């Protein structure tokens, strides 16, 4: 039995620093997705919202918040929170509802309004919250991105020049993306001239925080056929697995030993695509392009390897060869990635699927990848809430 569902509508609100209520971004994205699907809002039977924790009570109940903003019409609601993997979990909830036969059409939506600068912990003492602890120890996101990067340099011989090439490539991809926040091409010299944030990562190696929104309309294959969209792009697999080893701090840096006595977060990330590949019945060799979680330039290289798109330690070589550019044999982050968008946390996993859908439809304009048939995403959330989604023609 196939677990495929159809993506019949996609929509986004441009990323930026707009300073407005996050609901406005999500509503815009949702309405665009509904229009793209060619259906009416009243046809949507389930609203699956990705939560935004910084935006207070409405963000905690994002599904109901967006349903209300779009106009009560009787749809059931759901809210999912897994930090950067929230959008994928919201999609997983919608897919489960559709495959169970409890609904035919669902809206998946996420949006965020983020503060300027580093994502900060909530006020008050929270010693049982690993995020609170690491922030108060000074381990902000760029700090452990830098530890990941330093690990690559020590283990594989990657260089700061390799990391800079990732930024240059993503900036070129995002230059013509109307939804990207940053539309400017850079050189490796520009990256090298930017301020050092956490050695070896410079300012331009690290993604910003942003406002933005993204939405999908997904449905059963039967419904897609009924409305004349039998050839719609399909969700072929969703993986939201947690680690199989004992660890209380999944989001902390890699602390691996040669003996393997301390298992690192890389093992967790590598587990994500395995289930997705198995469920979709394909392998890494079938992937046409990927949207991965480039919180830093070096982390993009980790994800290429985690998705088994090359051998361990070989991702930098792919970048050097130009393989990960549009026109190369394995384009990565054709949207421009977080390098061009920044983080709008509940929206970013959904926005990745929007990009892959446009690519597989042949609607990506200057970013179009030739003969794109299968795409994969990757995100790492909090407490083992990672995700990988495969879409196909």
Secondary structure tally for the chain: helices H, strands E: 14, 11
Using CA atoms, how far apart are residues 328 and 322, in angstroms rounded to an integer? 6
Same domain as 168, residue 113: no
In a domain, 122, yes or no: no
Using CA atoms, how far apart are residues 220 and 223, in angstroms rounded to an integer? 5
User: What pLDDT does 251 receive?
Assistant: 44
Cis peptide before 53 (omega within 30 of 0): no
Using CA atoms, how far apart are residues 129 and 223, in angstroms rounded to an integer? 43
Asked if 145 and 298 count as a contact pair (C-beta separation under 8 A), the reply is yes
Same domain as 224, residue 151: no
Same domain as 173, residue 247: yes
86 vs 49, 203, 315, 379, 382, CA distance in Å?
A: 9, 26, 27, 9, 10
The two structure tokens encoding residue 134: 């690491």
The two structure tokens encoding residue 337: 């990635």
Question: How many C-alpha atoms does 325 have within 13 Å on its Cβ side?
Answer: 13
In a domain, 124, yes or no: no
User: What pLDDT does 266 receive?
Assistant: 60
Same domain as 259, residue 199: yes
Same domain as 371, residue 342: yes
Asked if 336 and 202 count as a contact pair (C-beta separation under 8 A), the reply is no
Same domain as 135, residue 39: no
Angle between helices 265-280 and 297-306 (to 10 degrees): 50
Pick from 278, 339, 6: which is nearest to 145 by CA? 339
- Structural domain of residue 89, as residue ranges? 5-117+212-233
Using CA atoms, how far apart are residues 326 and 333, in angstroms rounded to an integer? 9
pLDDT per position in the chain (393 positions), as tens?
Answer: 689 999 999 999 999 999 999 999 999 999 999 999 999 999 999 999 999 988 899 999 999 999 999 999 999 999 999 989 999 999 999 999 999 999 999 999 999 999 877 666 667 787 887 777 877 777 788 888 999 999 999 999 999 999 999 999 999 999 999 999 999 999 999 999 999 999 999 999 999 999 999 999 999 999 999 999 999 999 999 998 877 655 444 444 433 323 233 335 566 677 788 889 999 999 999 999 999 999 999 999 999 999 999 999 999 999 999 999 999 999 999 999 999 999 999 999 999 999 999 999 999 999 999 999 999 999 988 766 789 999 999
Whole-structure pTM value: 0.93
Number of domains in the chain: 2
What pairing do the DSSP bridges indicate for beta strands 374-377 and 76-80? Answer: unpaired
In a domain, 125, yes or no: no
Q: For the residues of 93-118, what is the DSSP string, one character each?
A: HHHHHHHTTS-SEEEEEEEE---SSS
Same domain as 271, residue 216: no
In a domain, 42, yes or no: yes
In a domain, 123, yes or no: no
Same domain as 248, residue 311: yes
What pairing do the DSSP bridges indicate for beta strands 5-16 and 388-392? Answer: unpaired
For residue 175, the tally of other CB atoms under 10 A from its CB is 17
Same domain as 302, residue 217: no
User: What pLDDT does 271 receive?
Assistant: 76
291 vs 131, 164, 189, 227, 344, CA distance in Å?
A: 25, 18, 25, 29, 15
In a domain, 51, yes or no: yes
Q: What is the CATH number of the domain that holds 17?
A: 3.40.47.10
Same domain as 219, residue 175: no
């Amino acid at each position: 039995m196939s677990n495929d569902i159809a993506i019949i509508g996609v929509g986004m609100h441009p990323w930026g620093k707009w300073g407005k209520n996050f609901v406005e971004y999500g509503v815009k994205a949702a309405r665009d997705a509904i229009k793209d699907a060619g259906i009416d809002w009243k046809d949507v039977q389930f609203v699956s919202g990705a939560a935004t924790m910084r935006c207070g009570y409405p963000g905690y109940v994002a599904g109901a918040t967006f349903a209300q903003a779009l106009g009560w019409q009787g749809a059931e609601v759901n809210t999912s929170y897994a930090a950067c993997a929230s959008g994928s979990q919201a999609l997983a909830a919608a897919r489960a509802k559709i495959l169970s036969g409890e609904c035919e059409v669902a809206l998946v939506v996420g949006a965020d309004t983020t503060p300027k600068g580093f994502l900060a912990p909530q006020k008050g003492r929270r010693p049982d919250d690993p995020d609170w602890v690491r922030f108060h120890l000074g381990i902000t996101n760029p700090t452990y991105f830098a530890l990941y990067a330093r690990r690559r340099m020590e283990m594989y011989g990657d260089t700061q020049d390799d990391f800079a090439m990732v930024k240059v490539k993503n900036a070129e991809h995002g230059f013509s993306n109307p939804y990207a926040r940053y539309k400017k091409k850079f050189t490796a010299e520009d990256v090298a001239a930017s301020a050092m944030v956490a050695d070896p990562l410079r300012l331009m190696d690290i993604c910003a925080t942003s406002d933005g929104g993204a939405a999908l309309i997904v449905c059963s294959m039967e419904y897609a056929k009924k409305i004349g969209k039998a050839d719609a792009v399909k969700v072929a697999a969703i993986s939201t697995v947690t680690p199989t080893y004992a660890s209380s701090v999944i989001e902390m840096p890699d602390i691996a030993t040669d003996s393997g006595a301390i298992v690192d977060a890389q093992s967790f990330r590598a587990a994500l695509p395995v289930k997705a590949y198995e469920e979709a019945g394909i392998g890494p060799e079938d992937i046409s392009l990927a949207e991965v979680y480039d919180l830093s330039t070096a982390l993009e290289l980790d994800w290429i390897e985690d998705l088994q798109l090359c051998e361990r330690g070989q991702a930098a070589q792919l970048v050097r060869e130009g393989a990960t550019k549009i026109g190369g044999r394995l384009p990565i982050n054709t949207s421009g990635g977080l390098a061009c968008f920044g983080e709008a946390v509940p929206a970013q996993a959904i926005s990745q699927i929007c990009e892959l859908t446009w690519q597989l439809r042949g609607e990506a304009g200057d970013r179009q990848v030739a003969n794109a048939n299968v795409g994969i995403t990757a995100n790492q959330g909090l407490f083992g809430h990672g995700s990988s989604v495969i879409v196909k023609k």
